[in-house]
């Protein structure tokens, strides 16, 4: 079912499926909870992926829209879908350092160790961008500090390359976190 088929055509303009998809993803990107609710009630697939593989959840979390994200999670959005580069919602928030979003996703059951197409995990993105709090959250959630990416680089090696002593300490002592 599409939004256009659920609306009274005599009082509303007809939209193409591409226009509806664009409006749907824009409402997620902008965190428009009322519009997202309307789309879901009208039958839009909550896990629909656009041409880049983005889902509404990937867009709401990346853009740090808490209420829209909470609604999508409550409505059954899949936390672990990957875009065309292999990135998940958790990977995006690790990169952006949206700590509250990371906690929300982890609480909803997001997997912390799904690698992208290069073999990098959310933990590795947190380390690459010196996200100390995010690194600690991911380690506490069970992220694997021994995972090696496609080039054989581990989180500890990344932290050493960054010269971040705090991250090095966290990774060397992850079992005590």
pLDDT tens per residue, range 81-110: 999 999 999 999 999 999 999 999 999 999
CA atoms within 13 A on the CB side of 40: 20
Neighbours of 12 (CB within 10 A): 11
**Model-level pTM greater than 0.95?**
no
CA 10 to chain centre: 39
Residue 172 has pLDDT above 70, yes or no: yes
- N- to C-terminal Cα separation, the chain: 48
Contact in structure between 32 and 68 (CB atoms under 8 Å):
yes
Q: What is the pLDDT of residues 112-132, one digit of tens each?
A: 999 999 999 999 999 999 999
* pLDDT of 174: 83
Residue 79 class from Cβ within 10 Å (0-12 exposed, 13-18 middle, 19+ buried)? buried
Residue 37 class from Cβ within 10 Å (0-12 exposed, 13-18 middle, 19+ buried)? middle
* pLDDT of 19: 92
């Amino acid at each position: 079912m599409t939004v256009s088929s659920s609306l009274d055509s005599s009082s509303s303009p007809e939209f193409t499926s591409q226009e509806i998809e664009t409006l749907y993803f824009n409402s997620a990107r902008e965190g428009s909870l009322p519009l997202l609710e309307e789309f879901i009630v009208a039958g839009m697939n909550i896990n629909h992926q656009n041409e880049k593989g983005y889902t509404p959840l990937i867009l709401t979390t990346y853009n740090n829209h808490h209420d829209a994200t909470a609604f999508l999670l409550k409505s059954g959005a899949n936390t672990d879908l990957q875009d065309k580069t292999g990135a998940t919602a958790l990977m995006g928030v690790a990169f952006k350092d949206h700590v509250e979003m990371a906690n929300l996703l982890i609480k909803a059951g997001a997997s912390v160790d799904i690698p992208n197409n290069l073999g990098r995990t959310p933990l590795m993105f947190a380390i690459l961008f010196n996200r100390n709090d995010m690194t600690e959250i991911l380690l506490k959630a069970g992220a694997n500090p021994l995972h090696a990416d496609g080039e054989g680089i581990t989180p500890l090696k990344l932290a050493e390359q960054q010269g971040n002593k705090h991250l090095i300490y966290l990774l060397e002592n992850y079992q005590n976190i």
